[in-house]
């Protein structure tokens, strides 16, 4: 959220859940904010990294670490070298009973939060 818009329609974007959603609403039926979206994306200055064909510029490719200097060469950062099986909770324990449609409210993010809480707890000794 640090590089996106600070706020939109009076709502904070930076530092909020909105930074990980659609901060500037644009789709084929709602192009009124298209210019703002383009301005934001241009702020990344991708032309400094890629040529007109979308290929990484040679001067950028030249500074990419190789061999043991790569982050993935470190076993701590390479999940493929130090994996432990993830202990997962039974997903059925987090299902909402929706037999009577419209009589019970539920939030997917709230239920996912409960699942992730339990996932972390089950795996705290594995540190994965």
The pLDDT tens digits of the residues spanning 8-56 come to 889 898 888 888 888 888 999 889 999 999 998 999 999 999 999 999 9
Phi and psi of 72, rounded to 5°?
Answer: -70, -10
What is the pLDDT at residue 126? 85
Q: Which element (helix H / strand E) includes 11?
A: strand 11-12
Each residue's pLDDT tens digit, 48-69: 999 999 999 999 999 999 999 9
What is the pLDDT at residue 74? 85
What is the pLDDT at residue 109? 86
The full length of the chain comes to: 128
What is the pLDDT at residue 1? 61
What is the pLDDT at residue 4? 81
The pTM (predicted TM-score) of the whole model is: 0.51
- In order of 37, 93, 107, 119, the CA distances from 111 in angstroms are 32, 10, 6, 12
Handedness of CA 111, 117, 121, 125 (dihedral sign): positive
What is the pLDDT at residue 93? 93
Each residue's pLDDT tens digit, 78-115: 777 777 889 999 999 998 877 777 776 777 888 899 99
């Amino acid at each position: 959220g640090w590089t996106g818009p600070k706020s939109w329609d009076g709502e904070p974007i930076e530092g909020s859940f909105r930074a990980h959603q659609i901060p500037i609403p644009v789709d084929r039926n709602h192009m009124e904010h298209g210019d703002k979206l383009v301005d934001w994306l241009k702020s990344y200055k991708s032309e400094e990294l890629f040529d007109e064909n979308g290929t990484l510029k040679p001067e950028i490719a030249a500074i990419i670490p190789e061999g043991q200097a790569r982050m993935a060469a470190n076993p701590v950062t390479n999940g493929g070298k130090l994996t432990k099986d993830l202990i997962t909770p039974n997903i059925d324990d987090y299902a909402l009973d929706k037999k009577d449609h419209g009589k019970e409210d539920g939030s997917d993010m709230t239920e996912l939060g409960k699942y992730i809480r339990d996932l972390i707890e089950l795996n705290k000794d594995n540190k994965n």
